[in-house]
Amino acid sequence: MTIKENFELAKQAYAKWGVDVEEVVEKLKSVPISIHCWQGDDVAGFEVNQNELSGGIDVTGNYPGKATNAEELRSDLEKALSLIPGKHRVNLHAIYAETNGEVVERDQLEPKHFENWVKWAMENGLGLDYNPTLFSHPKADDGLTLSHPNEEIREFWINHCIGSRKIGEYFGRELGTPALTNIWIPDGYKDIPSDRLTPRKRLKESLDKIFAVETDKKYNLDAVESKVFGIGSESYVVGSHEFYLNYAMKNDKLCLLDTGHYHPTETVSNKISSMLLFSEKLALHVSRPVRWDSDHVVILDDELKEIALEIVRNDALDRVIIGLDFFDASINRVAAWTIGTRNMIKALLYAMLVPNEYLKQLQEEGNFTERLALMEEFKTYPFGAIWDYYCEKMGVPVRESWLEEVKAYEQEVLLKR
C-alpha cells in the first residue's frame, strides 16, 4: 500500500474517536522545536582562546567530522534541518560568536559578533535562541560564577549575562520572533557546604543586577534553569529548582526545566501541569538522562511521550517553549540531531492523536478501567502511518530513508574535515 493509502486507513481509525487527523497535521506544522547547535561540535565553541570543557559538562566519543568553525556548523545544521519536518529554531551559546580571529572576552560580546548567524537564520526562515556561557572559562575554574565570593569575578559574569540578553533582543528584533535567553550556571560544591544561604544570596543579587537592565519582551524572553547536581557539584548546587522556581515566579521570568536536571525518580512531565497553573509560559530542555544528567540523544520513550501529552492535553502548545539539549560524540552528529528532533515531533504527533478530552471525561467519571484500557490501546494505534504522511507532505525523507542522506553527507563532507 502507498503512504497515502495507509494514511487514509489510519485516519479512519482515529476518526472513530473524534480525532481530526487533517487538523492535527496542519497544527503540527506550526510547532517549532529549538534545536541546540552544540551537538554539532561537542560543546567546544569557536573562541580564539578556546578552553577545555568544564562546569560538569562532559562529551564522550571521537566520531569523525565534528564542526570546527561556524560555517561548518551551519552547514551541518542545514543538513539536519532538511531531514526534519517543519520550521524550527536554533539555540546558540555565547561561545559560538564569530570574532574574525580577535580575542573578545565574553563580557564584551555584542550583537555584531552574531551577524552571520542572524543572516543565515533569516535566509532559512529560522528563529534563534541564546544562552550566556558560564562554563569552560578560567573565571569559572573553581566552580563558581554569579555566586562567587570575589566581586570582580561576579561582575564579569553579570556583565556577560547583561550583554547576552541584549544579543537575544537583537535576535528577536531582526528575525521577528522573540529569542529565549536562558541562564544556567554550574555553581556548586563537591562536598557538603557549611553555608548554603550566602552563595544563594549572592546569586539572587547577581540576577537582580542582570535583570535590572531592561530588554523588550517582544524580542527577548528571559529564563532561568536549575540543576540538582553536577560533576564537581555533587553535594550542593546554588541554583536549585526551589531557588529558580521562586525567583522566576517573583520576578516574572520563565522557569526552564531540563529533563536531565532532577533526581532519577523525578519526571518533568509530572511538573508541567503545576507550572502552567502559575506561569503564562514555560520553557523546556528535552534531553535523556541515563543514570545522571548525561544528555543522551532523545528517543521516543515513555517519558518523552508523557511530556508531549502533558503539553497537548493541557492545550499548551503555544505556552511551552520546547528546546533540546543533548550531545553525543560517539555517533554521527547530524544523525543525532535528526533522530532527537524527529522523535520530539513524533511525540507531539502521538499526543495530538490521542482523544484526550474523552480520556479526561473517563477520569472525572471515575471510569478508571476504560481509561487504562484505552490509554494502552492507543499505544499501538497506527500513528506511524500519520507520521509517514506528514514527512512526505513536508518534503522530508520518510522513515529511515533519511539515513542514506546522512551517510552520503558524511562521505562527501564530514570525513574530509
Q: Which residues are the active-site residues?
A: 184, 225, 227, 258, 261, 285, 293, 295, 325
- Sign of the Cα torsion 370, 355, 357, 344 reads positive
Q: Which residues contact 370 (CB under 8 A, 6 or more apart)?
A: 362
Upper half-sphere CA count for residue 302 (Cβ side, 13 Å)? 4
For 350, residues 6+ apart whose C-beta sits below 8 A from its C-beta are: 305, 308, 309, 383
Give residues with Cβ within 8 angstroms of 64, minimum separation 6.
414, 415, 417
Close Cβ partners of 109 (under 8 Å, ≥ 6 residues apart)? 94, 97, 160, 163, 164, 167
Q: For residues 390 and 25, what is the distance between their CA atoms, to the nearest angstrom?
A: 7
Task: Say if CB 43 and CB 303 are below 8 A apart.
Answer: no
Q: What are phi and psi of 150, to 5 degrees?
A: -85, 115
Cell of 378: 492507543
Residue 148 is labelled as binding a ligand = no
The answer to whether 261 is a known ligand-binding residue is yes
293 labelled binding-site residue: yes
Mind giving me the DSSP string for 50-61?
-----SS-----
Going by C-alpha positions, the residue among 243, 311, 240 that lies closest to residue 273 is 311
As a whole number of angstroms, the distance between CA 255 and CA 247 comes to 9
Binding residue ranges for Mn(2+): 261, 293, 295
